Amino acid sequence: TGKKAFIAGVADDQGFGWAIAKALAEAGAEISLGVWVPALKIFEGSYTKGKFDKSRQLSNGGLLEFTHIFPMDAVYDTPEGVPEDVKSNKRYAAAGDKGFTVSEVARNVESEVGKIDLLVHSLANGPEVTKPLLETSRHGYLAALSASAYSNVSMLQHFGPLMNENGASISLTYLASERIIPGYGGGMSSAKAALESDTRVLAYEAGRKHKIRVNAISAGPLGSRAAKAIGFIDKMIAYSYANAPIQKELAASEVGNAAAFLLSPLASAITGTVIHVDNGLHAMGLAPD
C-alpha cells in the first residue's frame, strides 16, 4: 500500500505488464507506465475511449488508474544515442521534447512521480524471432539482446538511483533460455539467457548499491500481442496444457499475482532468483502418456 511502481512494457490489456499493473493496484500501489513510442497513440486512444474499462475493474469497485504515462523506447539510453531517422520519425517526434530514452524517462519519472519503490520490465523484441538461431543475422541477434536484455540493465542503471531502499524489480523471462524451444529464434533464447544471468549479477550489484531486490519470473505461454507475433503461441499453450503437472491454461493474472508477491515485503529475502510461473511445465522431463 502507498508504494509507487513504474512498469515498462504495457501497450494493451492482454499482456503480462497489464496483469502486473492490476495486481499491484489491487495491493494499493500507485502505477505509472512506460509505453513503447510506436504503440503510445493507440494505447492512449483506447484507454481514453474506454476500451480497457472492463479489464480495469478492481475488486474494490474502482478502476485501474495510471497516474502517469511516459513515452519510452528501451533500446535507447540517452538522446545522443538516438539515430537521426528515429528522431525525425513522425511518431517519435510526436512523443514530445521530454524524451523517450531510458535516462530521460527516469529523469521524467523522478520529477513527475518522485522516488519509486517497484520497477517492472515487461518488454521484449527480436526482429528475427521467427528465424532459427542458425539463420539469424548478427544485427538481428544483437537487436534481440539490446531490446530484451540490455534494456533491463539500462533500466536498473537509470532507475536504481531513484528507488527507495527495500524496493524491488522484476522482469519476465521464458523457458527457451534453458530448454530448446524450436520456433523461439532470432537470438531471443539467447536474450532470455542473458536476462536470467543478469538477474543474479544485478541482484548483487543493485542490492549492495541501492538495497533493492532483483528477480525474474519465467512465465508459461500466454496469447499476448508479442507472443502472437512469434506465430506458434497456440501450439505452446496446447503443449503446456497437455504436458504440465497442472492441466490448465495460464492466466496472466497468475503471473501478476506472483510478481506482486516478489515485489512485496513478503519476499524480502528473495533476490537473484528466477521463479517459474508456468503450471510446472519446466519440471517435466518426459511427455506424459
* Catalytic member of 174, 204, 239, 241: 174
Candidates 2-10, 25-33, 88-96, 110-118; binding stretch for ligand NAD (CB under 6 A): 2-10
3-state DSSP call for residue 128? coil
Q: What's the CA gap between 141 and 132, in Å, rounded?
A: 11
Q: Do residues 198 and 244 lie in contact, with contact meaning Cβ atoms separated by under 8 Å?
A: no
Exposure b/e, 135-169, CB count within 10 A at least 16 = b: ebeeebbebbbbbbbbbbbbbbbbbbebbeeebbb
Nearer to ligand NAD (CB atom), residue 164 or residue 223: 223
Task: Please pick, from the candidates 3, 33, 73, 106, the single residue that binds ligand NAD as defined by CB under 6 A.
Answer: 73
The reply to whether 76 belongs to the active site is no
Residues 121-160 binding ligand NAD (CB under 6 A) are 122-125, 147
Task: Please pick, from the candidates 4, 6, 16, 158, the single residue that binds ligand NAD as defined by CB under 6 A.
Answer: 16
Query: Which DSSP string corresponds to 54-80?
Result: TTTB-TTS-B--EEEEEEE-TT-SSGG
Q: Which residue is nearest to ligand NAD (CB)?
A: 15
Residues 18-37 binding ligand NAD (CB under 6 A) are 36
3-state DSSP call for residue 108? helix
Nearer to ligand NAD (CB atom), residue 69 or residue 164: 69
Q: What's the CA gap between 186 and 167, in Å, rounded?
A: 33
Task: Assess 222 for contact with ligand NAD (CB under 6 A).
Answer: yes
Q: Which residues bind ligand NAD (CB under 6 A)?
A: 8-11, 14-17, 36, 39, 72-75, 122-125, 147, 172-174, 219, 221-222, 224-227
Active-site residue numbers? 174, 184
